[in-house]
Structures are given as C-alpha cells and as structure tokens.
Amino acid sequence: MSIYATLWWLQFPRYGDEYIGCEWIRVTAQGVPAHVGTPTPGFGYEDGDPYAEFLPSAVEVNPNGDSEFMRAVVIITEETKKGTARSGQEYANPLLVLSGREYASITFVELHTRICDALRGPGAEVVAQSFTPDGEIQLILSDGRIVDTTKRGTGNS
C-alpha cells in the first residue's frame, strides 16, 4: 500500500522554461497524510518512523489521525522512480519535498518557480526568444548565451 495520495498534476516545460516548441512534462503532487509515521501513540509507529530518512518530520495527530497539515507533499515527474534500496516508498529523484505546513503556506507563483527551477537544474534561465531570418528560433539565456532551440535538448546546451 502506498503512503501517497495524488493531489494534482499539471503540465510544465520539460526543462523549466517555456518557449515556442518546448517539450512538456507531467508534474504530480503526491501528498503524505499526517498519520503516516506519526509519533502519536496508537497509530502503529511506537517503534519509530520508517519514513524519517526521506520525508519531513512526522506530525502529531488527533484521535482520528487528522492534523491541520499533511506530513509532506512530494513533487515528482513521470520519470521519477518510486522505490529505492532504502525504502520502496521513497521516490528516487523527486523535484521537491515539502512539509505539509510549507505546502499549505506557499503561493502558487512560488511553487511554480521552484518546480521550474528544479526542472531547469543549475543551467541558465531562458529570458527571451527570437526568430532568425531563416525561421529558426533562438533562446537568449540569463547568462548572455544564445542557443538554437534545435540544440536545447537536456537543459542549457
């Protein structure tokens, strides 16, 4: 049984920046209910939290297993693999792992920015695009480089 519940999914630019002809990827938010790993007695975790190594801290819950916030929200892509040597419940390469409190307080704009930054990786951001006389599209990056979109591929070529 999974500890995750799908909250939503949206399409994002594969490499974090939207431009004409960019690829898109499905990004999913997986919520972890508050009772998972809770230190509250009576929920089966008296011997410890088996998810502590890869999720934010467990939260106290009421007698019904509820809390004001989820334990965590993990943002993943279609390519993210669930199940590592450490735990079958761990995502190997999540984009973001947020506490439930952090997820509840983040604005959509900030969440969108953080997801795009994670998809982009350490490369430069696309700040503009232009058309060449022969109809090609060039991307102008935040570090001043100009890249032909046919060479964009895996981030910032």
> What's the pLDDT tens digit per position in 46-68?
999 999 999 999 999 999 999 99
Residue 93: which of 56, 113, 118, 120 has the closest Cα? 118
pLDDT, residue 151, reads: 56
Q: Does residue 90 share a domain with residue 47? A: yes
Lookup: tokens for 43: 């929920």
The DSSP letter of residue 38 is -
Looking at the structure, do residues 32 and 94 belong to the same domain, yes or no?
yes
Domain identity same for 76 and 113? yes
Based on the domain organization, do 97 and 139 belong to the same domain? no
pLDDT, tens digit (0-9, with 9 covering 90-100), for 64-120: 999 999 999 999 998 888 889 889 999 999 999 999 999 999 999 999 999 999 999
Supply the range of the domain harboring residue 150. 124-157
Regarding whether 128 and 116 lie in a shared domain, the answer is no
Same-domain pairing of 112 and 155: no
Decide if pLDDT at 43 tops 70. yes
